[in-house]
Structure 1
């Protein structure tokens, strides 16, 4: 896919990083998209893998609560 060596692994790792940095926003989006009709089984599997791997990484980070609070404050400022 896309003639890039290790494309699948690179895609997964980058999507996990994105989800780690914006856990509320991205996880909410992925959960909503999971149930949409326009995705293949492979794409749904990828969504679950992203959520699973992100949860593993975030469970090891003591600063996750700070990230979530920062996102909540940013969301409140936007209102």
Structure 2
């Protein structure tokens, strides 16, 4: 039969292992949260960039149509 001191040491060791595991999990969660926030930020920037490109595309198409119209009318 284990002595009380031996049982206490076992409990302390198990507690230390659990604490280390909890800290590792918290670190993993924090890293994932940072990654998620970064992905959200990149997604937001991509949306802005896409909108700007679509606007530029629209302007270019309008210019092309205007020039084609001018060519047809002989201006």
- Compute the TM-score of the two structures, normalised by the length of structure 2: 0.31
Larger Rg: 2
Greater length-normalized contact order (CA 8 Å, ≥ 6 residues apart) = 1
Higher helix proportion: 2
- Compute the TM-score of the two structures, normalised by the length of structure 1: 0.30
